[in-house]
Amino acid sequence: MPLPFAISNRLAGFTATLGLAVALLPAPTMAQTPASATSAAARATMPLLAAWGGPHGGVPAFDKVRVADFKPALEAAMAENLTEINAIASNPAAPTFENTIAAMERSGQTLTRVSAIYDIWSSTLNDPAFAAVETEMAPKLAAFYDQITQNAALFKRIEAVYNAPATKKLTVEQQRLTEVQYKQFVRAGAKLDATAKARVSEINQQLAGLFTKFSQNVLADEANQVLVLETAQDLAGLPASLVDAAKTTATIRNSGVGVITNTRSSIDPFLTYSTQRPLREKAWRMFTNRGDNGGAHDNNAIITQILQLRAERAKLLGYATHAHLRLDNTMAKTPEAAMDLMLKVWQPAVAREHEEVADMLALAKKEGAPANFKIEPWDYRYYAEKVRKARYDLDQNEVKQYLQLDKMREGMFWVAGELFNFAFVPVTDVPVYHPDVKVWQVNDKATGQQIGLWYFDPYARAGKNSGAWMNAYRNQERMDGKAVTTIVSNNSNFVKGKPGEPVLISWTDATTLFHEFGHALHGLSSNVTYPTLSGTSVVRDYVEFPSQVLENWLATPEVLSKYALHYQTGKPIPQALVDRINKASSFNEGFATTEFLASALIDMKLHLAGAQKIDPDKFERETLAGLGMPHELVMRHRTPQFTHVFSSDGYSAGYYSYLWSVVLAADAFSAFTEAGGPYDKAVAARLRNHVFTVGNTVDPAAGYRAFRGRDPKIDALMKQRGFPLAAAKAAPGKASSGGKGKATRKRK
Tell me which of 465-469, 522-526, 560-564 is least confident: 465-469
Q: What is the distance between the alpha carbons of residues 140 and 151, in angstroms, rounded to a whole number?
A: 17
Which residues make Cβ contacts (< 8 Å) with residue 118, sequence separation at least 6?
14, 70, 74
For 652, the 3-state DSSP assignment is: coil
Residue 191, CA distances (Å) to 141, 156, 200 in order: 21, 10, 12
Q: From start to end of 629-735, where are the E strands?
A: none
Q: What is the distance between the alpha carbons of residues 25 and 3, in angstroms, rounded to a whole number?
A: 6
Q: Write the DSSP symbol of residue 260.
A: E
Calculate mean pLDDT across residues 196-219: 97
Residue 746: what pLDDT?
Answer: 56
Q: What is the pLDDT of residues 125-163, one digit of tens each?
A: 999 999 999 999 999 999 999 999 999 999 999 999 999
Which is it for the CA torsion 582, 587, 590, 596, positive or negative? Answer: negative
Q: What is the pLDDT of residues 321-338, one digit of tens each?
A: 999 999 999 999 999 999
Instruction: Report the residue count for the chain.
Output: 748
For 493, the 3-state DSSP assignment is: strand
> In this structure, are strands 745-746 and 469-474 parallel, antiparallel, or unpaired?
antiparallel
Q: Is residue 24 over pLDDT 60?
A: no
Q: What is the pLDDT of residues 279-316, one digit of tens each?
A: 999 999 999 999 999 999 999 999 999 999 999 999 99
Q: What is the distance between the alpha carbons of residues 619 and 428, in angstroms, rounded to a whole number?
A: 51
Number of other CB atoms surrounding residue 702 within 10 Å:
12
Looking at per-residue confidence, does 495 or 377 come out higher?
Answer: 377
Residue 692: what pLDDT?
Answer: 98
Q: What is the distance between the alpha carbons of residues 338 and 336, in angstroms, rounded to a whole number?
A: 5
Q: Sheet harboring 438-444: ordered strands across?
A: 422-427, 438-444, 450-459, 486-494, 469-474, 745-746
Q: What is the distance between the alpha carbons of residues 41 and 280, in angstroms, rounded to a whole number?
A: 57
Tell me which of 35-49, 73-87, 107-121, 558-572 is least confident: 35-49
Q: What is the distance between the alpha carbons of residues 163 and 286, in angstroms, rounded to a whole number?
A: 55
Which residues are annotated as catalytic? 516
Residue 727: what pLDDT?
Answer: 53
Calculate mean pLDDT across residues 198-226: 97
Which residues make Cβ contacts (< 8 Å) with residue 116, sequence separation at least 6?
27, 28, 60, 473, 474
Q: Is residue 21 over pLDDT 70?
A: no
Chain mean position to CA 365: 41
Q: Is residue 9 over pLDDT 90?
A: no
Which amino acid, residue 421? N
Calculate mean pLDDT across residues 471-500: 94
Q: What is the mean pLDDT of the chain?
A: 91
Task: Read off the pTM.
Answer: 0.90
Q: What is the distance between the alpha carbons of residues 453 and 464, in angstroms, rounded to a whole number?
A: 22
For 141, the 3-state DSSP assignment is: helix
Calculate mean pLDDT across residues 648-664: 96
For 572, the 3-state DSSP assignment is: strand
Which amino acid, residue 368? G
Calculate mean pLDDT across residues 655-659: 96
Residue 22: what pLDDT?
Answer: 29
Q: What is the CA radius of gyration of the chain?
A: 25
Residue 394: what pLDDT?
Answer: 92
Q: What is the pLDDT of residues 33-68, one digit of tens each?
A: 333 456 666 677 899 999 999 999 999 999 999 999
Residue 36: what pLDDT?
Answer: 44
DSSP result, 179-227: HHHHHHHHHTTTTS-HHHHHHHHHHHHHHHHHHHHHHHHHHHHHHH-EE
Residue 639: what pLDDT?
Answer: 98
Calculate mean pLDDT across residues 252-267: 94
For 458, the 3-state DSSP assignment is: strand
Q: Is residue 470 over pLDDT 80?
A: yes
